Amino acid sequence: MLLLRCTIFTRVANFCRKVLNRETAVTAPEDRRPLTIIPRDQHAISRKEISENALKVLYRLNKAGYEAYLVGGGVRDLLLGRKPKDFDITTNATPEQMRKLFRNCRLVGRRFRLAHVMFGPEIIEVATFRGHHLTHVPDDADTGSAVQAPAAALQGQNGMLLRDNIFGSIEEDAQRRDFTVNSLYYSVADFTLRDYTGGLRDLNEGIIRLIGDPETRYREDPVRMLRAVRFAAKLNMTVEAATAEPIPRLASLLHDIPAARLFEESLKLLQAGYGEPTYRLLCEYQLFQPMFPLISRNFTEQGDSFMEKMVTRVLENTDHRIQNDMRVNPAFLFSAMLWYPMLEQAQKLTQESGLAYFDAFSLALNDILDEQCRSLAIPKRLTTLMRDIWQLQLRLSRRQGKRAFKLMEHPKFRAAFDLLALRAEVENSAELQRLVQWWSEFQEAAPPRQKSLLTTLDDDGAARPRPRRPRRRAPHRDPA
């Protein structure tokens, strides 16, 4: 009986040690900062700037007795005077409780369980407060065992979180967020702003700082490295030294991220209006190579190759269009970025296999898309458009007869022409510039002028030179 009591006491003591070790292992003491509550008259957030649907969700959660806060990028952007793209909410209600509370709610995500409250085209994302997940922490010396993650959390061998549905308090939730500037909470109950991590100070100083140990957090989710770069470029901020230091060392962890997720991240990085500065930071922190190995393997020390100039130029062009509310298409962006690697592969196949250039071009097109899709899972709907844009490059110089009119009827003619114009600019080629000029005039010309432009072409489609005066022949003499 005495032995049984001792065993029970030992197990209780071990359990207490596990709980204490869990708290100290997940969050270092220096990461915990005292809560700062900023009253309404000391911050710039107004309900007028918040989506009506987000306010409906906040009010209903509060009315049902739950805590609910606006959090993340929406709060950050409002404080910076920017218009938020979306509004995220966090609460102590579980996903199942939210589904009962909102009929227009759909639960999504296996890795992170979330509630999407649907209001027509607008989706309000609601997450339950995250708690600390257990890590492999040494237990007492008697057993030598380790504290294992519970069933709701699962980590891979490299430290990446494969599943994480541990719920906790708002204080734990603040420590589980990625960057301090994204860890600010706005309450509609008293209109206060809650800061658990010093995020408001970092926001004012223009610093991107990771919460917790950077290497551990990057291993949990390597995409955080991309997010650090994206926020720095988007907000024109600086990545804090300790946050930046591990990134080049851990960049290869991006190879463990599903290609479909990396594709979605690539759009956030390169098609959000600040793609060119983001590209420079990606290269600086060695994050570009895992996403675009075909491009990065051809980088030069001087950075002045046609390919590198094309990447910079097409990103500048994309940024300009987005900032002027013009449409952009990822297919055009990727076709321009990968044009020179594809061209190099076509030339290589022509030399090594003796294929005709058109056949080598078609094979190279498939090779490049297959290899790139191993890193970024570019959807078929986009790769189909990329093929059209590339193949049209070979046809734009052949304009004689009715070909020019048929080319203009092609759905991707305009995108192909834009790529041609970028090539002419990047290569500074007189021949390409003449071709661009011809097509520019032909598109805008009236039918009589179009006919005149076509008559200046030779049989190959090139501009016909001015005809020479025929030589006078010697008179024909009959043989004697």
Catalytic annotation present for 418: no
Domain end among 205, 238, 263 = 205
- Give me the numbers of helices (H) and strands (E) for the chain, helices first please: 23, 14
Task: Choose between 340 and 145: higher pLDDT.
Answer: 340
Q: What is the pLDDT of residue 155?
A: 53
How far apart, in whole angstroms, are the C-alpha atoms of residue 364 and residue 339?
11
Contact 129, 173 (CB under 8 A): yes
Task: Out of 88, 164, 195, 221, pick the active-site residue.
Answer: 88
Is 381 found in the same domain as 255? no
Residue 89 has which token pair? 């909410």
Is 173 found in the same domain as 88? yes
How far apart, in whole angstroms, are the C-alpha atoms of residue 412 and residue 383?
13
Closest residue by Cα to residue 95 from 126, 57, 130: 126
In a domain, 348, yes or no: yes
CATH code of 395's domain: 1.10.3090.10
Is 193 found in the same domain as 105? yes
Rounded to the nearest 10°, the torsion over CA 310, 315, 316, 317 is 90
In a domain, 471, yes or no: no
Question: What single-letter DSSP state applies at residue 456?
Answer: T
Catalytic annotation present for 140: no
Is 199 found in the same domain as 67? yes
Is 172 found in the same domain as 263? no
Average pLDDT over residues 19-30: 42
What would the pLDDT profile of 61-120 be if each residue is shown by its tens digit? 999 999 999 999 999 999 999 999 899 999 999 999 999 999 999 999 877 789 999 999
Is 218 found in the same domain as 198? no
Q: What is the pLDDT of residue 301?
A: 86
Task: Out of 77, 164, 173, 178, pick the active-site residue.
Answer: 178
In a domain, 141, yes or no: no
Beta strands in 60-152 (DSSP E): 68-71, 88-91, 105-108, 114-119, 122-128, 137-138, 146-147
Tell me what percent of the chain is helix, strand and coil, each rounded to the nearest 5: 55, 10, 35
Between the CA of residue 35 and those of 171, 175, 472, what are the distances in Å?
9, 12, 99
How far apart, in whole angstroms, are the C-alpha atoms of residue 103 and residue 60?
12
Q: What is the pLDDT of residue 256?
A: 94
Domain end among 169, 185, 205 = 205
pLDDT band at 477 (very low <50, low <70, confident <90, very high): low
Percent of the chain with pLDDT over 90: 71
How far apart, in whole angstroms, are the C-alpha atoms of residue 108 and residue 363?
40
In a domain, 292, yes or no: no
What would the pLDDT profile of 349-377 be if each residue is shown by its tens digit? 999 888 899 999 999 999 999 999 999 99
Residue 411 has which token pair? 């759905």
In a domain, 5, yes or no: no
CATH code of 190's domain: 3.30.460.10
Is 421 found in the same domain as 349? yes
Structural domain boundaries enclosing 371: 310-458
Task: Choose between 156 and 105: higher pLDDT.
Answer: 105
What would the pLDDT profile of 423-466 be if each residue is shown by its tens digit? 999 999 999 999 999 999 998 989 989 898 988 876 555 555 44
In a domain, 38, yes or no: yes
Is 429 found in the same domain as 339? yes
Of the candidate ranges 92-106, 164-178, 285-299, 408-422, the one whose mean pLDDT is the lowest:
164-178
Average pLDDT over residues 173-190: 95
Task: Out of 86, 139, 367, 388, pick the active-site residue.
Answer: 86
Is 66 found in the same domain as 185? yes
Q: What is the pLDDT of residue 212?
A: 94
Report how many domains make up the chain: 3
Q: Say yes or no to pLDDT of 162 above 60.
A: no
| Identity of the residue numbered 149 | A
Asked whether the whole model's pTM tops 0.75, one would answer yes
Is 315 found in the same domain as 425? yes
Beta bridge partners of 123: 118
Other CB atoms closer than 10 Å to residue 302's CB: what's the count?
A: 7
Catalytic annotation present for 202: no
